[in-house]
Amino acid sequence: MRIDILRGDLTTRGVDAIVNAANSSLLGGGGVDGAIHRAAGRELLEACRELRRTQLQDGLPVGSAVATPAFKLPSRWVIHTVGPNRHAGQTDPALLASCFRESLSVAAGLGARSVAFPAISAGIYGWDARQVAEVAFDAVRWFSSSSSGRGADNSSLELVEFVLFSEDTTAVFRTVFESSPGFEA
């Protein structure tokens, strides 16, 4: 599994699935959530409203992930996940790890071969980008060594992108990646 770290706009990535840093309502917001909804078009909100009417009547829990089509976006799917909100006292890294792990598992379950993540929780939800990067790379390591991450026969993921919106965050992710055990830079 290859990991790419790049500065860019997640909504432009032509991967199979992009991951949205949503909130539990799934009804849109600011940040990358707002950008994804704007680029995907109204049908994305309709698909999220349908999820709220059916399988997610109480909203999407922190650390969980669910997929919808991506509509007008270049990717095939959007995987929505809800990161922990430091401002609401959600400081347990296991919640953030769950966002990455669940999103990777949902992507593999869809048969996606490529997925792109933003820096979940590193914006409005107030987490430090360095800690987000550490949690993210640990989750990718866990996934690639687990059964759900093994071999192309179960159409596992081949490419994981981290798409960062600022030069600073990109530099932080690159620095953490280069010092992460188990990944060749």
- Cα–Cα distance, 9 to 178 (Å, whole number): 23
171 binds ligand APR (CB under 6 A): no
Among the listed residues 10, 2, 40, 42, the one whose alpha carbon sits nearest the alpha carbon of residue 122: 10
Shortest CB 16 distance to ligand APR, Å: 17
Q: Quick one: which segment of 20-28, 42-50, 64-72, 88-96 binds ligand APR (CB under 6 A)?
A: 20-28
Amino acid found at 79: I
Beta pairing partners, 163? 6
- Cα–Cα distance, 90 to 16 (Å, whole number): 30
Phi, psi values for residue 17, rounded to 5°: -140, 140
CA dihedral of residues 119, 120, 123, 125 (deg, nearest 10) = -160
Nearer to ligand APR, 143 or 173 (CB): 173
Nearer to ligand APR, 156 or 170 (CB): 170
Phi, psi values for residue 110, rounded to 5°: -80, -15
Nearer to ligand APR, 155 or 166 (CB): 166
Nearer to ligand APR, 17 or 156 (CB): 17
Q: Is residue 33 among the annotated active site residues?
A: yes
CB 97 within 8 Å of CB 139: yes
The residue from 4, 16, 33, 138 that is catalytic is 33
Shortest CB 31 distance to ligand APR, Å: 2
Q: Which of residues 109-168 bind ligand APR (CB under 6 A)?
A: 118-125, 163, 165-166
84 binds ligand APR (CB under 6 A): no
Judged by CB under 6 A, the residue of 6, 14, 34, 74 near ligand APR is 34
CB 139 within 8 Å of CB 104: yes
Contact footprint for ligand APR (CB under 6 A) = 9-11, 21-23, 29-35, 83, 118-125, 163, 165-166, 169
Residues with catalytic roles: 33
